[in-house]
A and B are shown apart, each in its own frame.
Chain A
Amino acid sequence: MSRLTADNEALAREIIARYPRPKSALIPLLHLAQEQDGYVAEDAMEHLGELVGITPAEVMGTCTFYEMFVLHPVGKYKIDICTNLSCQLLGAEDLLHHAEEKLGVRPGGTTDDGLFTLEDVECIAACTEAPCLQVNYRYEYRLDNQDFDRLIDDLRSGKRPEIPSHGTLGHVRQHIAPDRLGGVETPEDAGTPAWFTSRQPAPEEVS
């Protein structure tokens, strides 16, 4: 849909400046684009290519490798139900079937009101709290069918304001004040840090 806004472009430049090579910032920037629009738009990919100095095709090549990036709008809330072994052993498949019935969609589908997209995902690292799911990457633990219904009802009625819309990851970003930054150099220019050279043992100390 759109290129990055002026604010987001400034943020993008701040992120790029932390890396020895601009292209390294690409995945964080794709997250920024997804946060802005809820998905990674084609115009945004073109814009990112300009910012880090690669072609739009290269941006898309990276983007399509990673599961979290979506190239089309999805629901406001992405419900990711883990069905890997630990969760499967404790009923994740039943939970997924219940979710399909409750929402009326199969994994990958979005409800007609545009609120929910259901996904069946791999291990999300909460195995002792099985079965578990993430709503826009926020955890819900040890759910039974009633818990799931309650969660959906709460999300519908706006009772979970702490969960952001799809695309936003952390509410907090890394910011480095310019006077606190150690200094970033390109791999070609960077050498041995001066502090390391001065702290080397004198030759006679090396056995």
Chain B
Amino acid sequence: MSTENHRTSNPGRRTNDYVPSAPGYVDNEGPKIVTSRFGHADSHTLERSLATGGYDGLKAALRRQPADIAAEVKEAVLLGRGGAGFPAGIKWSFLPPVWPRYLVVNGDESEPGTYKDRLLMERDPHQLIEGCIIACYALGLNQCFLYVRGEMAQAQENIAQALNDAYAAGYVGKHILGTDVNIDVVLHWGAGAYIVGEETALIESLEGNRGQPRLKPPFFPAAKGVYMKPTIVNNVETLANLPWIMVNGAAEFKKYGSEKSPGTRMLAISGHVKRPGVYEIEQGKVSFRDLFYGENFCQGIKDDNELKAYVPGGGSAPWFFEEQLDIKIEAADVGAAGSMLGSGALMVMDETTDIVKAALRLVRFFARESCGKCTPCREGTSWEEKVLQRIDDGLGRPEDIDLLIEIGQNITPGAYPVAAFGEGNLEAIPFPYRSQTTICPLGPSSVAPITSAIRRFRSEFEAKIVAAPAAVAGAISAQPSSAETNPAQRDAREEVGHR
């Protein structure tokens, strides 16, 4: 690394460098590609950035031809860090030779358990801005929109300040670094909608509309994106890698991580562990066991309890259990085992966890966040929530477990045959989904916690149902469901006679 190595012993919340706006980062003494400045309390300032190699990557890029840079990023096999894990260089190559074209940065991080992008935006906004300009230059476009989740007020503030400083200092805007290159970066505020993290919904939102996904095809962003023009949507962490790659080269980048997944990933590990935190790890080098029990990482399960289950890649990911602990953390291996690394969010549940409550809470999230466009998701997710709620309330019916699986069938047909859910059937869940009846993956995502929980812990569901007194088994839960609290659903639906 050309930049100074900021390996302070314990940055984050355990030192005097404590940054009240963003604790959570834990230094694990490993290589740092995107978190190299996190140990400094002033890591978000232009002064600190410049003192530690900031904008060197941009200078290196501007000396080369755009096509050359795109080729270098392709060579680096920089997998998208947002969820789908698609290589950024290949995504870029889908752009047809049509102008204008736009770059949209997806900073609408809201997947349950995820918060790496917030730290990158709050603590090193200049690194992100530099990555944006490099990408714009490589793609031959002059307009970038940085879409930041509305609830992240501090991130917006730090990015606004960083952009103002970078514009004034000539790193963004007209005649960048004295060249003829003009690139504008606009900070755009979101306003609270998980679905806007989906790229076509993000584009709708950026056009000032309700954030509902578009059908693909024909609306693949690379062909018909913002204003129906070619558009690249990249995640914050993906772009934050670009300055390092420009300075050090793709070959150096590939020395970190594994062959299939070069470089590092930021992971947020939360829930029942002794030292939760956001860690930058080398991909494919660390197993889940290392991460949960390792001295440099989470240091064991809370109160030395037994591990019950964990979510490997955000609320949408099928759960993993003890058997998967030795899988190395990289997209391909996690995918082969029947889940996804997704947004790099791990949530750990120990033996004290009420599995029905945990599944209910994740499903409730999808029910509240359903945008209301596709019927199977709009109706299905809130129905799933109602059924789980009544099971948890002790009002469950014997047929409810099969009903939950059947509702899932209507959202992702074929993936979850009811017959496969017999007690003790612990085969890997088929993932990714083979088919879906919705435009985007939100509806199918709600099925993951249900099927994961029922496959492994069916008896816990049955125990709650058996305990339900027969006299009240038909009563309706008094809890307000998200149908009443989700504005999109409230607008879109008429009351439907759910079973």
Q: Which residues of A contact B (CB under 8 A)?
A: 18-21, 23-28, 30-31, 52, 54, 61-62, 64-69, 80, 83-86, 88-90, 108, 122-130, 134, 136-139, 141, 169-177, 179-185, 187, 190-196, 198-201
Contacts and interface: CB of A to CB of B under 8 A. Distances in A.
Nearest to B116: A125
Contacts of B150: 27, 31, 66, 68, 137, 169
B21 A139 contact: yes
A200 B67 contact: yes
B270 A182 contact: no
B27 interface: no
Contacts of A126: 24, 115, 118
Nearest to B190: A27
Nearest to B110: A123
B155 to A, nearest CB: 9
B159 to A, nearest CB: 8
Contact of B153 (A65, A138, A185, A199): A138
22 contacts: A18-B184, A24-B208, A27-B150, A61-B209, A61-B210, A65-B210, A66-B150, A84-B315, A89-B358, A122-B112, A125-B114, A125-B149, A137-B150, A138-B153, A139-B21, A170-B157, A171-B157, A172-B161, A174-B164, A176-B184, A190-B100, A192-B99
A198 B208 CA distance: 34
A182 B168 contact: no
Contact of A123 (B111, B184, B193, B271): B111
B65 interface: yes
Interface in B436-463: none
Contacts of B173: 176, 180-182
Nearest to A141: B23
Nearest to B278: A128
A67 B184 CA distance: 29
Given A127-B113, A170-B156, A183 B361 contact: no
Interface of B: 21, 23-24, 65-67, 99-100, 109-115, 117-118, 140-143, 149-154, 156-158, 160-161, 163-164, 167-168, 173-174, 179-184, 186-194, 205-212, 226-229, 268-272, 276-278, 311, 315, 345, 347, 349, 353, 357-358, 361-362, 365, 368-369, 371, 485, 487-488, 491
A9 B268 CA distance: 41
A89 B353 contact: yes
A108 B242 CA distance: 43
Contacts of B193: 65-67
B66 A196 contact: yes
Contact of A125 (B65, B109, B183, B188): B109
Contacts, number: 242
Contacts of A31: 150, 189, 191
B180 A187 contact: no
A192 B270 CA distance: 46
Contacts of B369: 122
B164 A172 contact: yes
Contacts of B311: 85
Given A68-B151, A123-B111, A128 B24 contact: yes
A21 B143 CA distance: 12
Contacts of B365: 84, 122-123
Contacts of B149: 125
A26 B211 CA distance: 12
Contacts of B345: 127
B224 to A, nearest CB: 12
Contacts of B229: 187
Contact of A24 (B99, B118, B206): B206
A184 B184 CA distance: 8
Contacts of B205: 27
B21 A86 contact: no
B146 to A, nearest CB: 9
A66 B167 CA distance: 30
A106 B276 CA distance: 30
Contacts of B268: 127-128
B368 A122 contact: yes
Contacts of B160: 170, 172-174
A21 B271 contact: no
A124 B190 CA distance: 13
Contacts of B357: 88
A191 B142 CA distance: 10
Given A86-B113, A122-B112, A125-B110, A187 B188 contact: no
A176 to B, nearest CB: 6
A31 B168 CA distance: 26
Contact of B184 (A26, A122, A183): A183
Given A88-B361, A127-B113, A134-B151, A182 B182 contact: yes
Contact of B142 (A64, A66, A193, A199): A193
A141 B24 CA distance: 10
B361 A170 contact: no
B390 to A, nearest CB: 18
B45 to A, nearest CB: 13
Contact of A66 (B65, B157, B192, B491): B192
Contact of B211 (A66, A180, A201): A66
Contacts of A89: 270-272, 347, 349, 353, 358
B167 A176 contact: yes
Given A122-B110, A169-B153, A172-B161, A65 B211 contact: yes
A196 B140 contact: yes
A21 B227 contact: yes
B205 to A, nearest CB: 7
Contacts of A27: 150, 188-191, 205, 208
A187 B100 contact: yes
Contact of B174 (A28, A141, A181): A181
Given A68-B192, A85-B113, A192 B140 contact: yes
Q: Which 9 A-B pairs have the closest CB atoms?
A: A182-B182, A67-B192, A26-B208, A170-B157, A66-B191, A196-B140, A127-B270, A125-B115, A190-B100
Contact of A183 (B117, B142, B206): B142
Given A18-B184, A27-B150, 7 more contacts: A23-B209, A27-B191, A89-B272, A128-B277, A180-B173, A193-B141, A200-B65
Contact of A21 (B109, B207, B315, B349): B207
A68 B227 CA distance: 25
Given A85-B362, A174-B163, A180-B168, A169 B189 contact: yes
